[in-house]
Chains A and B, each alone.
Chain A
Amino acid sequence: MATVSMTVNGKSVSGEVEPRTLLVQFIREQLHLTGTHVGCDTSQCGACVVHVNGDSVKSCTMLAVQADGSDVTTIEGLANGDTLHPMQEAFRDNHGLQCGFCTPGMVMSAVDLLKKNPKPSEGEIREWLEGNICRCTGYHNIVKAVQQAAQA
């Protein structure tokens, strides 16, 4: 077992993990932050995307021990109290989610996109989101939501 400590959504947390424990398992099972989802086991679906030191990362491609000392933000840490993050608001306004399972990862990816490219074209949005699979929406309204958030 190894001890890991990190900041998650602004709070210091620590825990004992087996070295093979993935960051997403630590987040879901030990921190009980169940907003980060697991949709595959090959690092392709993107349901588990969180921010590690400000960058979007698939939390299934990282061991919890690798995140030791990091600053992690999950979907639960995105809104400002009662006020949704503009990206969350845009997803709601544009019906950018249906079943909602891919949504946390999709939103976290989209937030990182706008941080790096504040005015992306439709093509750039679609390319950026290629690591986030959505089976429900057909992506049309997700793209619209990101465009709206970029206007905000």
Chain B
Amino acid sequence: MDSVVEDNQLGMMKYGIGQPVTRSEDPKLLRGEGNYTDDVNLDGQAYGVMVRSPYAHGTLNGIDTAEASTAPGVIAILTGADLDAAGLGTMKCGLPLKGRDGSPINYVPRPALATDKVRYVGDPVAIVIAETATQARDAAELVELDIDPLPAVTDARAAAEAGAPQLYDSVSGNTAIDFQYGDTAKVDTAFKEASHQTRLNIRNNRIVVSAMEPRSAVGSFDAASEGYTLNVGCQGVFGMMNTLAKQVFNIEPEKMHVVTGNVGGSFGMKAGAYPEYICVLHAAKVLGRPVKWTDDRSGSFLSDCHGRDHDMTAELALDADGKFTALRITGYGNVGAFLTAVSPMMPTMNTLKNANSVYRLPLIEVASKAVFTNTTPVTAYRGAGRPEANYYMERLIETAAREMGIDAIELRRRNQILPSEIPYAAANGMNYDSGDFPTIMQKAVEASDWDGFAARKAESEKRGKLRGRGVGCYLEVTAPVQEEMGGIRFEENGDVTIITGTLDYGQGHWTPFAQVLHQKLGVPFERIRLIQGDSAELIAGGGTGGSKSIMASGAAILEASDIVIDKGKKIAAHVFETAVEDIVFEGGAFQVAGTDRTVTVTELAEQLRGGLDLPEDLPRDLSVKHIFDAAPSAFPNGCHVCELEVDPDTGVVEIDRYNMVNDFGTVVNPLLVEGQAHGGIVQGLGQALMENAVYDSEGQLQTGSYMDYAVPRASDVPSFTFATHAVPATTNPLGAKGCGEAGCAGSLPSIMNALVDALAPLGVKHIDMPATPEKVWAAIQSAKAA
């Protein structure tokens, strides 16, 4: 091997798969040169401000815009009637989910602006458009709404009861879907025959997503081409384009150009279409000038979809040896006033898929209702059913262990699926392809200095503190990969552009995708670009969500690279005047087998640009537009161990130690993967200890700003110890498993198990999230009183 090749290989190592490469986009973002939607300013743009319902439920009799229309700078005020008159369609939920009787999801599609009724505080009823944002805001205050308030219901369980206020005439019992999976009779029998049953009522508290960038959109319309352009932050422009074009505007998708720059966080929340996007697009057409809308945080609290909000009863049946014989989860999921494209999934199918976790479980039943209430719509939030389902299972195990007098680690060991049992067909229909769950738990236990706990606990006691330790094993079922574009374009200037339809809102896709391409084709890492946010460039795009992007785009890039190699071999064969069969591709170069005649991909691309004289039947360039078909769900898993201290006098909880061992399969970029785990853990920590969206009986959001809704701050969280035990997935070409949501799935159970462990000596059996100081204090008081 000559030295050039060695150098090249060293170079590839530096940016290859598995390397902690820093992110290519960071210098721009760190200089304040990011391009978030509110940074976009188009010539002649006007500004829109939404008028929202102040009532949770009411009949909308009329909207008086007379005074507002004459306010300084006002250009137009659009209402639902205007959108109706323009023939705009509605936003729909097309999930193929079926209820227990086989019926589809029962719901009413959502118009962008309410016309007959308002159904939650913040429900948009009009958009005021003015020359400046301040003028629009001032004028919006002058719009008079004539609303007859109706009784409101904000709790899913209450909304499903007879006599509850009904949001829709056509949706009986406010129930969008009555879901059931599993053999009820067999599960009943298993519980009857069980030596031990553990039962917990668990609240999965409602979350305000709080992406730091408020949502924003700029709509424009080109009369000549009759084409719309929407600048917006989302999780995939291809899906956004199709939703808006097909469901709402009834136009060909290519007439709906969706452009996304930097996205300041989303976590599921910005994935779908929102009323404001439709309003700015339509207004742009009507007014003949671009219209921009940017939310303020007070608006975000009401208008951004919320997360979580389930109310479940979880039950575990065990035999005398502590072997699990059945799991049953029943209850309610609050979907808010309207369905998003995915919202019925979380309390139903996603709960079912993920509750099974890493355990051998002969029987499982999930029976739950997704219920409408007079609250902000709920959608996917980091994990979307995965963290909470794992949380239910781990709380059950910890509780059962305590009740049965079995060590909780031992109880998990007795039930964990062994590597020798994999592939494992789970009772919930999932097929686990890979994993080593016992080893991961053992490694996590060792990393936590398990044996040192007793001494630490004694030391805490001396200071008047109660120390607890909790384990959270988890297994997540990622979203399956559907069609995803793998585009590779060799640019005139020598850059190589990856074009794909996943879209990052902070994860940093550019770098790991470039690592994959660099390793596969040997093109220089620093010349690789990424296009992900321009719908005009895409021929497919599943978007980001469900921890699947590296599996989807990674596989698409690999397959597209294979096509590049095939094309290159043909061209190289011509250049070297040999047969295609004689060309091998190795170390980033095409080589005539057994000779020193080579040409790298980069060199060949350059020769093609320079103009190679090629026969008709040979490709003219190396660029590829490919669609990767599909890959099944992957099963990232791991074990988190949390240690915390409770101040019994005030109920304050402080996390002291946090260790984790995770299996994300093949890790392309460990620096970024670890960052995903940190972020997920802290969002879980927020849900576990602090965050809670609360409505009063009239449906007013009581936690409507950061004054009343806490997200974790730096001083609320510890540092983390992270380790990987990778068992590559067998079901996608990279062997990746996805890591975006796993942090939440590990932290909810490990933190809450640790808290109950600290308080168990006082007689506390369970505390619901968020375990605020007052709630912890009250639990201690009532345990003492009992």
Q: Chain A interface (Cβ within 8 Å of chain B)?
A: 18, 32-42, 44-45, 47, 74-76, 78-79, 84, 88, 91-93, 95, 97-104, 107, 122-123, 125-127, 129-130, 132-143
Contact = CB atoms under 8 A, between A and B. Distances in A.
Nearest to B670: A95
Interface in B648-681: 671-672, 674-675, 678-681
A41 B265 CA distance: 18
A129 B713 contact: yes
A98 B506 contact: yes
A18 B134 CA distance: 11
Given A39-B297, A75-B32, A139 B714 contact: yes
Given A41-B298, A122-B719, A91 B26 contact: yes
18 contacts: A32-B41, A35-B31, A38-B296, A41-B705, A42-B298, A45-B706, A76-B33, A97-B29, A98-B508, A98-B679, A99-B212, A99-B265, A100-B29, A100-B506, A101-B264, A129-B713, A133-B711, A140-B678
B64 interface: no
Contacts of A79: 30-31
A119 B123 CA distance: 50
Given A35-B33, A101-B265, A129-B714, A141 B675 contact: yes
Given A135-B212, A141-B678, A42 B262 contact: no
A31 to B, nearest CB: 12
Given A37-B264, A136-B265, A138-B681, A42 B707 contact: yes
Given A37-B36, A135-B683, A138-B682, A88 B713 contact: no
Contacts of B508: 98
Nearest to A125: B714
A37 B23 CA distance: 21
Contacts of A107: 30
B682 A139 contact: yes
A136 B32 contact: no
Given A44-B706, A99-B263, A136-B265, 9 more contacts: A35-B33, A45-B706, A91-B26, A135-B212, A135-B683, A137-B675, A138-B680, A140-B719, A141-B678
B213 A39 contact: yes
B248 to A, nearest CB: 27
A88 B26 CA distance: 9
Contacts of A45: 212, 297, 706
B506 A95 contact: no
A135 B270 CA distance: 14
Interface in B493-523: 505-508
B711 A99 contact: no
B34 interface: yes
A143 to B, nearest CB: 7
A40 B26 contact: no
Contact of A39 (B39, B214, B681, B705): B214
Interface SS majority for chain B: loop
Contacts of A130: 713-715
Given A95-B675, A133-B713, A47 B297 contact: no
A39 B679 CA distance: 18
Contact of B34 (A100, A137, A142): A100
A98 B198 CA distance: 41
B515 to A, nearest CB: 14
Contacts of B672: 95
B211 interface: yes
A28 B265 CA distance: 20
B267 to A, nearest CB: 7
B27 interface: yes
A93 to B, nearest CB: 6
Nearest to A47: B212
B22 interface: yes
A84 to B, nearest CB: 6
B210 A76 contact: no
B26 A97 contact: yes
A124 to B, nearest CB: 10
A88 to B, nearest CB: 4
Contacts of B214: 38-39
B671 to A, nearest CB: 5
A15 to B, nearest CB: 14
B714 A142 contact: yes
Contacts, number: 177
A21 B676 CA distance: 38
A101 B706 contact: no
Interface residues of B, number: 55
B717 interface: yes
Interface in B686-725: 705-707, 711-715, 717, 719-720
B715 A76 contact: no
A126 B265 contact: no
Which of A33, A76, A97, A139 has its CB near the most chain B CB atoms (within 10 A)?
A139
B22 A134 contact: no
Contacts of B22: 92-93, 95
Contacts of A102: 212
Contacts of A75: 30-32
A88 B711 contact: no
Contacts of B505: 99
A47 B414 CA distance: 49
A95 B674 CA distance: 9
Contact of A76 (B32, B39, B262): B32
Nearest to B22: A92
Given A45-B297, A140-B678, A99 B32 contact: no
A140 B263 contact: no
Contacts of B41: 32
B30 A84 contact: yes
Contact of B36 (A101, A123, A134): A101
A98 B210 CA distance: 15
Given A41-B298, A92-B27, A99-B505, A139 B711 contact: no
Contacts of A122: 719
A126 B715 contact: yes
B135 to A, nearest CB: 11
Contacts of A92: 22-23, 26-27, 30
A20 B39 CA distance: 22
B239 to A, nearest CB: 20
Given A91-B26, A92-B23, A135 B32 contact: no
Nearest to B672: A95
Which of B30, B213, B679, B682 has its CB near the most chain A CB atoms (within 10 A)?
B30
Nearest to B382: A135
Contacts of A39: 212-214, 264, 297
Contacts of B267: 135
B714 A132 contact: yes
Contacts of B211: 99, 101, 135
B265 A127 contact: no
Contacts of A125: 714
Contacts of B134: 18
A132 B713 CA distance: 7
What 5 pairs between A and B have smallest CB-CB spacing?
A35-B32, A101-B264, A99-B506, A138-B678, A100-B29
Nearest to B29: A100
A129 B714 CA distance: 6
Contact of A91 (B30, B32, B33, B296): B30
A76 B29 CA distance: 10
A100 B678 contact: no
A14 to B, nearest CB: 20
Contacts of B30: 75, 79, 84, 88, 91-92, 97, 100, 103, 107
A137 B678 contact: yes
A141 to B, nearest CB: 6
A100 B714 CA distance: 16
A20 B507 CA distance: 37
Interface string B37-63: 011010000000000000000000000
Nearest to B265: A99
Nearest to B684: A138
Nearest to B133: A29
A107 B264 CA distance: 16
Which of A40, A101, A138 has its CB near the most chain B CB atoms (within 10 A)?
A138
